[in-house]
Amino acid sequence: MSDTIISVKNVTKQYQATQAGGIKNISFEIKKGDVVAIIGESGSGKSTLLKSIYGLLKIDDGEIFFQNEKVKGPDEQLIPGHKQMKMVTQDFSLNIYAKVYDNIASQLSNTDLKTKAEKTNQIMEHLRISQLQNKKIIELSGGEQQRVAIAKAMVADTQVLLLDEPFSQVDALLKNQLRGDIKRVAAETGVTVILVSHDPADGLFLADQLLIIKDGKLLQTGKPAEIYQHPEHIYTARILGNAVVLNKADAEKIGLKTEKEMVVFYPEWAELKSNWDSRRFEVKDVYYKGFYDELLLERNGVLVRALQLNRGAHKKNDHVQLNIGRFLEF
């Protein structure tokens, strides 16, 4: 228990205007130093949960603890937001006409100028922005601005960094870099990171813990690989892995027997075979995915997808056989 930094206990927050919005009876714990990703489709309550943890929203029910201290809501303190937590939102809230160095250093007091300079330089090194220190924010790219925003949020002994959709403004290449940076900075500094994303790739890559939320409810939490391999809901398999979802009747048309209503499998669980039994699928389309192909396959009017690692081996209109080695039933 001692390495728990955040505990969320039965937290409910409903917005008056929209009875459907908000979050409902959510409970979980976060370990100090972990990178935690909150994943869910747009409107599922991710930002509401993040703001609640930070103390920006007055929650209706439940409690949130930072270590052993209860997080105060905006009605309980003058300046909303916990002192040892920092939230970075999509607008970055940087002074765009000031220099990078000054944006970051502004978070530290002037009582000890030596420490101020040391800490500012150190965090710039961690985020690999030292070479930008004398540039103004308006002279930076979106990705560089984001690094500065994270450095600014972290410089003043921040214990928990809250990131709301940190990758939404950046291109794919930069996204990979930033993901790596966040993971590395967390490991080097021991800061706990909670990030929110509607894109599961963000979370799967770097998280120690995933939280899957839907319609304001926590569906599942755990390590990314565990959740991916053993999703408890179809929504989770869909959002994490672009899963194939079939109803019982369709499943049976392609030879999968089930007592349940739905069958779900990830494309990579379906293995292409060249000499197997009589389950014949026709290749309807081939999607180029870089180092592999994704095949759209049809049998008895049912469409499924499978991966072809041996790129180009089967083409449109070919007939292939498929071994769906593993599938989940719901």
Q: How far is the CB of 41 from ligand ADP (least distance, A)?
A: 7
- Is 47 a binding residue for Mg ion by CB under 5 A? The answer is yes
Q: How far is the CB of 89 from ligand ADP (least distance, A)?
A: 11
- Is 120 a binding residue for Mg ion by CB under 5 A? The answer is no
- Partners of 163 in the β-ladder: 88, 195
Which residue, 40 or 203, is less far from ligand ADP as judged by CB? 40
Q: List residues near ligand ADP by CB under 6 A.
A: 15, 17-18, 21-22, 40, 42-48
- Is 44 a binding residue for Mg ion by CB under 5 A? The answer is no
Q: How far is the CB of 253 from ligand ADP (least distance, A)?
A: 36
Between CA 63 and CA 80 the distance in angstroms is: 16
- Cβ-closest residue to Mg ion? 47
Q: How far is the CB of 124 from ligand ADP (least distance, A)?
A: 30
Between CA 75 and CA 186 the distance in angstroms is: 31
Which residue, 45 or 224, is less far from ligand ADP as judged by CB? 45
Between CA 168 and CA 143 the distance in angstroms is: 10
Between CA 321 and CA 31 the distance in angstroms is: 46
Which residue, 26 or 178, is less far from ligand ADP as judged by CB? 26
Which residue, 47 or 52, is less far from Mg ion as judged by CB? 47
Q: How far is the CB of 47 from ligand ADP (least distance, A)?
A: 3
Which residue, 44 or 220, is less far from Mg ion as judged by CB? 44
Using CB under 5 A as the criterion, which residues of the chain lie in contact with Mg ion when the complex forms?
Answer: 47
